[in-house]
Amino acid sequence: MSSPARAPTLRQNTARHYGSVAKGFHWLTALLMLAVFPLGYFANDLAHHIQSPEFDGAQATLTRAALLFSLHKTLGLALFLTALLRILWALSQPKPVPLHPERRAETLLAEVVHWLLYGALVAAPLTGWIHHAATTGFAPIWWPFGQNLPFVAKSEAVAAVFGGLHWLFVWTLAVALGLHIAGALKHEVIDRDATLRRMLPGRAPQVTVPEQPHHGAAPVLVALAIWVLVLAGGGAFGLYAPHSHGAPGATAHEAGSETTDGGDPAATMASDTAGNWRVEDGTLALTIVQMGSEVRGQFDRWQAVIDFEDPAAPGPAGAVTVTVAIPSLKLGSVTDQAMGPDYFDSSTYPTAEFRAEIEKLAEGYIAEGTLRIRDQEVPLRLPFTLDLNGDTATMSGSAEVNRLDFNIGQGVQDESSLAYAVTIAVDLTASRAAP
């Protein structure tokens, strides 16, 4: 004689009721969404204020914004993991049937909304996570993992695409959540049935299971069609394109390039044809430490006037003047903030300049002179290596400066928010000018 079938436990779903596990996932998801949405709203509101010209660089505002963003991202990652577990559990369980199957359009809409919710619960936090991983300059996620993702490079283009996708998926989630709540309230207030009460904690209400309609794949196909429209709409409105940083109208130029735009700080640079070496290619980069994480950026426009003759023995070897267009700095998500009055104040001080004498050492070389940023001029020694190959020279060097020496970020005295030390690195290839 065969043994009787085992009855489902209280943790499992039945055709009539949701089990305790499904209820737990449902309400934990709801609580996380109720936290993540307002945190994201207020964090973005503060970010817009910080990036505005009116921002005074107040440390308290920066700290509050970083805290809100970190909370939003950390809870968003918790929401992502919870949603995955919830969906996996739901797929392994029977789904309690609708109590009004004769309302075919209503039950179809409810299933479509559920598929939209499931998709958005995964897609919204996942795209936000990828955007975070692709961005330089950020409030950290507080999980022991999450700052970076495999195969996700630090890229403004990647960050822009997934930032736009995150925005779209968040709004899709908000609309689907609103429809879901409206449907639950309709069942409770107008229909006065047990649909909502089946998901509440405690003993499940007694319900009768009517014969059910079969929608087949229709709800999934409708949800997919909606996703296609959402994604196409985002592309049509340019939500996936990188946003410009720095001065309005600024464009990237290679090192050593010139411009004839009288309103552009590059137009005030010294001509690089005055030296006996001409820069062919190179990068001028800086690295800051924000919230404990390195943020690397670079200046797209700068010029170097180089007079250099390699002596046979250690001693004087020439001179160099480097002029930098400050608005050309790209520093990830904090680019606009860096241009503000408490930092580089690029509208008032559009260029920086390094003037130095070059000296050959027993090993390597050094450029010793002064660096002017804003209205401050500070002594600077920049050691570098030099590889000479006929009329081509390859140079690489770096130095560390204290941002406070240049009155940069005076409102941020807490090194845990923004370290004092800033690393400047230069790599270039130059060719000897024709006599």
pLDDT of 243 reads 57
Same domain, 229 and 293: no
In a domain, 7, yes or no: no
| Residue type at position 292 | G
d(CA 140, CA 132): 9
pTM greater than 0.85 (yes/no):
no
> In CATH, what number is assigned to the domain containing residue 185?
1.20.950
Question: For residues 98 and 15, is the Cβ–Cβ distance under 8 A?
Answer: no
Same domain, 126 and 232: yes
Domain-ending residue, one of 195, 215, 236: 236
| Cross-strand partners of 367 | 358, 382
Same domain, 110 and 227: yes
The two tokens of residue 18 are 């949701």
Same domain, 198 and 285: no
Same domain, 273 and 172: no
Query: In degrees rounded to 5, what are phi and psi of residue 243?
Result: -90, 140
d(CA 322, CA 355): 7
In a domain, 374, yes or no: yes
Domain-ending residue, one of 217, 236, 255: 236
In a domain, 8, yes or no: no
Same domain, 338 and 192: no
Residue range of the domain that includes 343: 265-432
Which H, E and C letters describe 284-303, residue by residue? EEEEEEECCEEEEEEECCEE
Same domain, 229 and 290: no
The two tokens of residue 211 are 């014969």
The two tokens of residue 201 are 């904690």
Residues 6+ apart with CB under 8 A from 45: none
In a domain, 60, yes or no: yes
d(CA 124, CA 162): 10
In a domain, 29, yes or no: yes
Same domain, 32 and 135: yes
Same domain, 195 and 300: no
**Which whole-number Å values give the CA distances from 364 to 276, 380, 391, in the listed order?**
20, 17, 19
d(CA 352, CA 302): 9
Look-up: residue for tokens 């055709």?
15
Quickly list DSSP for 160-217: HHHHHHHHHHHHHHHHHHHHHHHHHHIIIIII--STTGGGSSSSPPP---PPPP--TT
Same domain, 58 and 144: yes
Task: Tell the burial category of 224 from Cβ atoms under 10 Å away from its Cβ (0-12, 13-18, 19+).
Answer: middle
Give how far the C-alpha of residue 26 lies from the chain's centroid of Cα atoms, to the nearest Å. Answer: 29
Same domain, 188 and 309: no
In a domain, 209, yes or no: yes
The two tokens of residue 12 are 């499992």
The two tokens of residue 409 are 């970020």
**Which whole-number Å values give the CA distances from 214 to 104, 107, 110, 245, 314, in the listed order?**
9, 10, 14, 53, 88
Count of residues making up the chain: 435
Crossing angle for the helix pair 156-185 and 104-134, to the nearest 10 degrees:
150
Could you list the pLDDT tens digit for every one of the 435 residues in the chain? 444 444 455 788 887 888 899 999 999 999 999 999 999 999 999 888 877 767 766 777 878 888 899 999 999 999 999 999 999 999 899 888 888 777 888 888 999 999 999 999 999 999 999 999 988 767 888 888 778 888 898 888 898 899 999 999 999 999 999 999 999 999 889 988 888 888 888 776 776 666 666 567 888 899 999 999 999 998 888 888 875 443 322 322 233 333 333 345 444 454 445 688 999 999 999 999 887 778 888 999 999 999 999 888 999 999 999 999 999 999 877 888 888 888 999 999 999 999 999 999 999 999 999 999 999 999 999 999 999 998 999 999 999 999 999 999 888 888 888 899 999 999 999 999 877
Same domain, 182 and 292: no
Number of domains, the chain: 2
In a domain, 76, yes or no: yes
Question: For residues 29 and 181, is the Cβ–Cβ distance under 8 A?
Answer: no
> In CATH, what number is assigned to the domain containing residue 351?
2.40.128.110
pLDDT of 213 reads 60
In a domain, 198, yes or no: yes
